[in-house]
Chain A
Amino acid sequence: MRKLVSGYFDLCTGCRICELACSAIKFGAYTPRKAHVAISIESQGLRAQPTICIQCQNAPCLRACPTDAIQRDEKIGAVVISEEKCTGCRMCIPACPIKAIYFNATTRKATKCDLCNGDPVCVKYCPTKALALIG
């Protein structure tokens, strides 16, 4: 089973509430540049595009990981990273073509959207439903 948060530019206002909510859950503080969802602003603001892991069926990060730290969680439907197994080698990071996997400088481990155990906060906080959990 695969689930994912899909982001729609037509509804995204660029307010970054998703980044704030995500960072608060993942880091216990507001730090949007570390969030697992990223809003990019293009065309002088005419397009605000959320980028977030699509929990690939054929996941390059999972395939690139030399320690099998990245696995599919069949129950949640997400591609998740085991902190114990991750050695922080960062092989997964350039492997992701949409730049949706990150390196946490504090824990020295890779980190990514894990769908918040099935109930993603970014979807919950988004004021315009520009983010939706699908699948």
Chain B
Amino acid sequence: MVHAYAGKILRVNLSEKRGIRVEPLDMSFAKKFLGGKGFGAKLLYDLVGPNVDPLGPDNVVMYCTGPLTGTLAPTNRYCIVTKSPLTGLFSDSYAGGYFSQELKYAGYDILMISGKAARPVYIWIDDEDIEVRSADHLWGLDTYQTYDVLKKELEDETMKISCIGPAGERMVKFALVDGDYHRQAGRCGTGAVMGSKNLKAVVVRGTGEISVADPKAFDEAVWKCYGEIRESLGSQDYTRGGTQSFTAFANDQGFFPAKNFQDGFFEKHENLGLESQRKHLWLREYGCFACPIHCTKLGMIRRGKWIGTVCDIIEYESVGLLGGSCEIDFLEAVAYANLLCDKLGLDTISTGNIIGFAMECYERGILDKSSTDGLDLTFGNWKAQLDLIKKIAYREGFGDVLGDGVMRASRRIGRGAEDIAVHMKGMEAPAWGPRGSAGMGLALATSDRGCDHQRGWPIAYETGASWPFGGPLDRLTLEGKAKVIKWEQDHLAALYSLVVCEFSRSGISNDTYAKLVSAATGWNIDYLGLLHYGERIWNLIRMFSIREGIGREQDAFLPKRFKEPLPSGPAKSHKFTDEEFNKMLNDYYEERGWDNNGKPRKQKLRELELEDLTTS
């Protein structure tokens, strides 16, 4: 009997009339790559070469579950892997909610979608009954409308739905995949890949069972998690205020992306922060599947023109980009913009970043009303932001230019716009301006999916916390940063392969994760073993990036903004220089066992049992 896994892979080729295939999950593959990110990395490496257009039929979208998915292990998420239309690289995007568990209960560890349907379709998985159905009637609907229609049509309120909005249909390069209300796999443009396949939604109902190898040990590990979460101040912060404790922190420390990252501090940030949201929006706590932290806060807009609208917490990232980066401090407008992005299917991080960029272009005279379809893009103009969100989602006029992402838009606009586009490898920067944290600069630059904060967050260790293999670090020194970034990346790659939420790190100890996975699978994996998995997966993805043409030149690219001195805060006047940055990169490549151009050395690949890649 298979434990911890459902034991099957479901492949759907939308180009074929009878394109549905169910295959057994190869357990040696499972043991080598664990799940989630690891599964996706191996399959994408094998299936999607450098000549594959991310928006062409040969790209694949994979919903990958992990060995803990569907069990009591705290914090289950879902993982979607594809080749990103935004970066052209490996991309993995995650969301909480209830979808991936259902897929596993239906009997599948992985749902792999390839090809392209001739007409809009959705995939309906009812345990072993799988159908590709027409979605002509769903095309054009927003995500919430899609849920309503599908639940009515399938006569069941309890099925789990993952879908795209109009932005995905129009292949906006940062379109997201929505997973039931309030949960989005936001980054990398996964929604555009679904749209390119004419795939509107995946609907699942699963009634099967997932067992663990050692139920008693597993239960003990689960209770250990509960205890650690209860005792942890970090977890308590998430329980009390979700990601909102970060708004004050980031402003105090100078990391907030104020005015398209011009500064690290937004003087009106409190209007968008924890106390303001608690007072004006939140009504209750909401948890993802199996999570006792329940960081999400649900609420209702209770002032002004959107009164009565149900809304989610405005997460820190969305406050940073839709709010701070556009200099908007009108709480309800940001809550509504956030909801609009969810419904239309846009990543709030990329969307906020790119609107902040357009506003700076407008301020500098690079753009005027003649090129913005008459929109007044003055910083702080929330009405224009809402209009622009719709234009981007529907790719209308100026929105069509922005819909290709900030890198391409800035090139098309020209006249110096490229200097104020804040991205790395084509991915819009998240709400952690790295100036003031040398480590964060390196983390963003070496993240596998482009400019991203969820592949390493050394800010914690640069503002007072210890890490497992050392004490706190000075925020501006270069030495020692490579080591901590490598550990963060390996650690998170392992967690993303178990497909747990990184917020659970606030409480659950490293050894407890290892206990969970060992008891679930019956394999004896300690924390160092988990890290080894993480390192293997990270290097495999690096080989994918190398094959796509990534090397030092791309890693070392810094947005011009990060080379300008930070105007305020505790790290006032800090900036990155190419020379210092390359020095950190040297350390990082060395630490990783990669050559001078950032390619994993053969010895490293052998050490990670990736010998088959040594010839490429």
Interface residues of A (CB under 8 A from B): 10, 13-17, 20-21, 23-24, 27-34, 40-41, 43-46, 48, 125, 127-128
Contacts and interface: CB of A to CB of B under 8 A. Distances in A.
A30 B209 CA distance: 5
A20 B72 contact: yes
Interface of B: 70-72, 98, 101, 105, 144, 157-158, 181-182, 206-212, 215, 219, 226, 283-292, 294, 298, 300, 310
A29 B292 CA distance: 20
Contact of B310 (A16, A31, A40, A46): A46
B213 to A, nearest CB: 12
A15 B105 contact: no
10 contacts: A10-B284, A15-B288, A17-B292, A30-B72, A31-B210, A33-B158, A33-B206, A44-B144, A48-B286, A128-B294
A15 B182 CA distance: 14
Contacts of A34: 207, 209
A27 B209 contact: yes
A128 B293 CA distance: 10
Given A15-B292, A128-B294, A30 B207 contact: no
Contact of A46 (B101, B144, B209, B300): B300
A24 B215 contact: yes
A29 B211 contact: yes
Q: How would you classify the secondary structure of chain B's contact residues: helix, strand, loop or mixed?
A: loop
A45 B298 contact: yes
Given A14-B287, A43-B310, A30 B300 contact: no
Contact of A33 (B207, B219, B288): B207
A46 B290 contact: no
Contacts of A30: 70-72, 209-212
A14 B206 contact: no
A47 B476 CA distance: 46
A36 to B, nearest CB: 15
Contact of B105 (A31, A45, A48, A125): A31
Contacts of B289: 15-16
Contacts of A48: 286
Contacts of B284: 10, 13, 46
Sorted nearest first, the 3 A-B pairs with minimum C-beta distance are A15-B287, A127-B292, A13-B287
A17 B290 contact: yes
A23 B208 CA distance: 11
B72 A21 contact: yes
Contacts of A28: 211, 215
A63 to B, nearest CB: 28
A29 B104 CA distance: 13
Contacts of B219: 24
Interface centre among A24, A30, A32, A127 (most CB of B within 10 A): A30
B168 to A, nearest CB: 20
Contacts of A21: 72
Given A13-B284, A31-B105, 13 more contacts: A13-B287, A15-B287, A15-B288, A15-B292, A17-B72, A20-B72, A24-B72, A29-B211, A33-B207, A34-B207, A34-B209, A44-B310, A125-B72
Contacts of B294: 13, 15, 127-128
A45 B70 contact: no
Given A31-B208, A43-B310, A46-B300, A127 B226 contact: yes
Contacts of A45: 181-182, 286, 298, 310
Contacts of A10: 284
Contacts of A44: 144, 181-182, 298, 310
A10 to B, nearest CB: 7
A43 B287 CA distance: 15
Nearest to B205: A33
B292 A20 contact: no
Contacts of A17: 72, 290, 292
Nearest to B295: A13
B599 to A, nearest CB: 42
A18 to B, nearest CB: 10
Interface centre among A15, A29, A34, A127 (most CB of B within 10 A): A15
A29 B210 contact: yes
A105 B286 CA distance: 32
Nearest to A124: B223
A86 to B, nearest CB: 21
Interface centre among B157, B219, B286, B310 (most CB of A within 10 A): B286
Contacts of B71: 20, 30
A11 to B, nearest CB: 8
Nearest to A125: B72
Contacts of B285: 13, 128
A4 B412 CA distance: 66
A107 to B, nearest CB: 14
B472 to A, nearest CB: 31
A41 B157 CA distance: 9
Nearest to B294: A13
Contacts of A27: 209
B454 to A, nearest CB: 22
A23 B210 CA distance: 10
A131 to B, nearest CB: 13
Nearest to B300: A46
Given A16-B98, A24-B72, A44-B181, A31 B207 contact: yes
A52 B144 CA distance: 29
B286 A40 contact: no
Contacts of B208: 31
A46 B313 CA distance: 12
A41 B289 CA distance: 12
Contacts of B206: 33
Contacts of A13: 284-287, 294
Nearest to A43: B310
Contacts of B207: 31, 33-34
B197 to A, nearest CB: 28
Interface centre among A13, A31, A34 (most CB of B within 10 A): A13
Contacts of B300: 46
Given A28-B211, A45-B298, A15 B72 contact: no
